[in-house]
Amino acid sequence: MREAAYLTLYRSGELAKRAAAARQMLSDCALCANRCHADRRAGRDRARCRTGKHAVVCSAGPHHGEERPLSGRRGSGTIFFGWCNLGCVFCQNWQISHGGEGREMSDARLAAQMLLLQTSGCHNINLVSPSHVIPQILSALVNAVDQGLELPLVFNSGGYDGPEGLALLDGVIDIYMPDMKFSDSQVAKAYLGVSDYAEVNRAAVREMHRQVGDLVLDADGLARHGLLVRHLVLPDDLAGSEQTLAFLAGDISCNTYLNLMDQYRPCYRSADYPGLDRGPTRAELGQVRDLAKSFVLRRLAP
């Protein structure tokens, strides 16, 4: 069985160096694609992500509703981080992402949560909305590996990830699971609060795939390494699904493990945005799945 990627960096001392470098970057933060340049060590007020030197954690525990290669029989060990580096008006977890529900945790406490998930039998450590807390994750990871952590790491992000943050994660993350929300930045701007989502997102997915390649499953069908992409189907094709599918097939790989998510429903402020005030129809969902097959994307999540 392939061991977790970060163990090699840990043994060489590189993981500790990455953690220290990431901590230094908090003083003039450009870790995610917002590049707000806030001094997060001094507090959270000026940071776009509303997060200071400590990560906010809402919850941690086994999750049995993730993709099958992650959840398996014993669950994916999810850690939900409070706040976010995006401002999605339709977020289904808005209390966490917009409201910062949770509590600040020291690196040692975050490491303890990782170890508890491993002790509970989870198949992996699934970091949910982690883009703004990379330094905290790396510091906690060093602490956790000191105490025996060995599970694969999942980076479960909204896909608005900058090159500086991803460079720190090269050789650390086993499984990248980004969203690809919108294919047109002009459309996305009204819904996400950023003006360059599509360009940043595609660059991030390219880099993620360069680092980990296509998703690799073990003999039990569990994910060990690679890229898994989520695309939420929106009503009236607001997401620009065809362009996203064409990008994956043409620029990434036809073997990309792709989850075409059908669970969109109006949440948070969706009712204020025409088009987002309903879920997609069965016909709209079927059309996107047919498009994926027409692009010969071979690995669609059931």
Q: The domain spanning residue 17 has which CATH number?
A: 3.20.20.70
pLDDT at residue number 296: 98
- Does residue 229 belong to any structural domain of this protein? yes
Q: Which two tokens stand for residue 3?
A: 């061991």
Sign of dihedral through CA atoms 247, 250, 256, 259? Answer: positive
Cα distances from 147 to residues 78, 111, 114, 253, in angstroms, run 19, 9, 10, 37
With beta carbons less than 8 A apart as the criterion, state whether 85 and 32 touch: yes
In-domain check, residue 142: yes
Q: Residue 7: is its pLDDT beyond 90?
A: yes
Is 162 inside a domain boundary? Answer: yes
Render 210-279 in DSSP notation, one character per residue: HHH-B-EE-TTS-EEEEEEEEEE--GGGTT-HHHHHHHIIIII-TT-EEEEE------TTGGGSTTSSSP
pLDDT in tens, 87-122: 999 999 999 999 999 999 999 999 999 999 999 999
The mean predicted confidence, pLDDT, of the chain is: 97
pLDDT at residue 300 greater than cutoff 80: yes
Q: Per-residue confidence at 28, pLDDT binned at 50, 70, 90?
A: very high
Structure tokens belonging to residue 125: 């450590």
Give CA torsion, residues 89, 127, 207, 233, to 10 deg: -40
Q: If DSSP codes are grouped into helix, strand and coil, which group holds residue 77?
A: strand
Containing domain of residue 286, as a range? 6-300
Structure-token pair, residue 141: 């990871």
166 contacts 144 by C-beta, under 8 angstroms: no
Is residue 116 in some structural domain?
A: yes
Q: How many CB atoms lie within 10 A of CB 65?
A: 9
CA distance 176 to 209: 8
24 pLDDT band, cuts 50/70/90, is very high
pLDDT tens-place string over residues 150-180: 999 999 999 999 999 999 999 999 999 999 9
pLDDT at 146: 98
In this predicted structure, the answer to whether residue 35 has a pLDDT above a threshold of 90 is yes
Distance of alpha carbon 289 from the chain centroid: 23
Query: Phi and psi at residue 11, in whole multiples of 5°?
Result: -65, -30
Give the separation between CA 11 and CA 19, rounded to whole angstroms: 14
Report the SS3 class of residue 139: helix
Q: What is the pLDDT of residues 238-279, one digit of tens each?
A: 999 999 999 999 999 999 999 999 999 999 999 999 999 999
Using CA atoms, how far residue 283 sits from 104, 201, 270, in Å, is 44, 27, 21
Which tokens in the block code for residue 28? 């003039």
Question: Which band of pLDDT confidence, cut at 50, 70 and 90, is reported for residue 290?
Answer: very high
Contact 259, 244 (CB under 8 A): no
Q: Is residue 291 part of a domain?
A: yes
Give domain status of residue 1, yes or no.
no
What pLDDT was estimated at residue 45? Answer: 84
Q: Confidence band (pLDDT; 50, 70, 90) for 1?
A: confident
Residue 53 in domain: yes
Q: How far is the C-alpha of 172 from the C-alpha of 182, rounded, in Å? A: 27
Q: Is residue 292 part of a domain?
A: yes
Can you spell out the DSSP letters for 149-205?
--SPEEEEE-S---HHHHHHHTTT-SEEEEB---S-HHHHHHHHS-S-HHHHHHHHH
How large is the average pLDDT for residues 57-61?
97
Question: For residues 120 and 122, what is the distance between their CA atoms, to the nearest angstrom?
Answer: 6
Which pLDDT does position 282 carry in this prediction? Answer: 97
In the prediction, which pLDDT does 46 show?
A: 87
Domains held by the chain: number: 1
